Chains A and B, each alone.
Chain A
Amino acid sequence: MSRRAQENLVAFLFLFFFLAMIYLSYDYTYKARMVPVPIYVISALIMLLQIYFMNFKKNINLNVDAAELLTGGKSKDSVKGPEKTEQVKIQKVEGGSELAAISMIVLYLVMTLLIGILPAMFLFVFGFFILITKMKWYISLLVTLATEVSIYILFSYVLQIKFFQGWLVKLFLG
């Protein structure tokens, strides 16, 4: 997907968000929506303006600098033609790792919800060191244990916080 298409996608997501919030606001009383609605309307209008500039103004490409607009110039930060191709190339390299990074975050979250904070932390940190950092298993284990123990001491012992145990643990052990 080209950079422009990606920018448009993000812009339309924001626009959809603001429009949805305006629609939802009419469920509430006048006082409760008095401040939010004007803010959503203004934000949606700004987003439309940004979409217009991104797609229909050739001299101001992707980023619109208000100061430059007011002084009648062209944004120095705007993305120009050649740089754009460069960015698309970089994007392709980033794609895989980006997906991996997001998947990793989601996986860690799911593990935490299922088996609890401390066991998930152990699996995640140890697994990360072994699979991604490619550290030797005993060094990985040592660093993981050090992290786990430090967090346990700080949060559970000093701050007296009882960590979440996980849905599976609750299901099987009650």
Chain B
Amino acid sequence: MYLLYVSACVLLSSNLLGAASELDYDGWLHIRLFHALNDDPVPQYVERGNITVSSVRSGASTIGQHGLQPSQITQLKYLAEKDSKYRLKAIIRSASGGENTFLTSLPACYLLGSDLEDILVIWIDSAAEPVAVNLLSPTGCTLDNPFAKMWSTSVQVKYPESGPVPDTASYIQKLEREREARERGETKDNRSFLAKYWMYIVPAVIFVVLTSATNPEAAGGGGGGGQRQ
């Protein structure tokens, strides 16, 4: 039973927009997905579907995937029982014309646990070329039969964040402000009492502690006298 399940979803997550400046160009990606459900070192890939990311900056994508046949679900369950991995191959064509093959895998039980709901994360570099494809499952591991026969995939595109730079500007500003304040002579000190006068308080406290500690006979003598009366 082949069902064509087409869903279009637009992902506009706020954290992606924040780092968008690190992306030099916007681009598109065309992804062909193949998966292997056999429990063997040599994978036998069959087609799973296609994903088109029309804009890597916004993350807008169109997903078209085949559903799983009962035999495939059995295979998936077998994989899960054997604690084996579900392998996914993604062939990505990008705006620059290059085509690269990526491989990712996931313990099969996680797919059963999430009822065939998975997250496909595509990591791209600053030139909008794909770097890695990761398949994640939002939930835990079970061996139960899945309710769904259809993949419900969400696609996320992640780009590199910008590297930190030494924050000299604000530091210089801070120094400047302090200097100005000093010049104006109105050092408005809003520190707490302790922070302001600790250098007087700490010696005093130590003094008290030490005098009481080093003169125990004086204190003890006084106490003894009190008892005697």
Q: Do A and B bind each other?
A: no
A binding-site residues for B, Cβ under 8 Å: none
B binding-site residues for A, Cβ under 8 Å: none
